[in-house]
Amino acid sequence: MKVSRHAKIIELISQYDIETQEELAEYLNNAGFKVTQATVSRDIRDLKLTKVSVDGGRQKYIVHRQEEGISEKYIRVLKDGYLSMDKAQNILVIKTVSGMAMAVAAALDAMNWNEVVGCIAGDDTIMCAIRSAEDTEAVMEKIRKIVSKGI
């Protein structure tokens, strides 16, 4: 339950400008996760979320980009959501468990791989724009390593 809740949090903060723990708890409750503000507070700490300024005075939660290594949370989201992948030149198409594409795409974005230009996610499919066809192979190999053994 915690992993799917964390995946949902990553998805929600990538979709909406969520400013407070209460606001995040409301989104989670509306999505079917019965949470309290204390649970959300722990999740924010576990996911290492941070706030950035938007629109002058407002703030929103974002996934803190890590300079070294890849967070275990992102690895877990990728491993739990991933089903398969295929390529078309420099486009990588990743199939996920239904409802997990946004969270997996957010996890891939948070990994901050230079080869990945960006990801677009639907319900169970992600399209990643990769810098070149050669880079697509490199990204596929990185993903294979993560989903097979967790790096």
Verify that 37 and 79 share a domain, yes or no: no
Q: pTM for the whole thing?
A: 0.58
User: What's residue 102's pLDDT?
Assistant: 92
Number of domains in the chain: 2
Under DSSP, the state recorded for 114 is T
Model confidence at 69: pLDDT above 70:
no
Sign of CA dihedral 113, 140, 144, 46: positive
Average pLDDT of the segment spanning 130-137: 95
Least confident of 28-37, 51-60, 77-86, 136-145: 51-60
* Domain encompassing residue 140: 72-149
Verify that 125 and 145 share a domain, yes or no: yes
Query: What CATH number is associated with residue 27?
Result: 1.10.10.10
User: What's residue 151's pLDDT?
Assistant: 52
In 3D space, the residue among 96, 120, 122, 93 whose CA is nearest the CA of residue 109 turns out to be 120
Picking from 63, 90, 106, the residue at the C-terminal end of a domain is 63
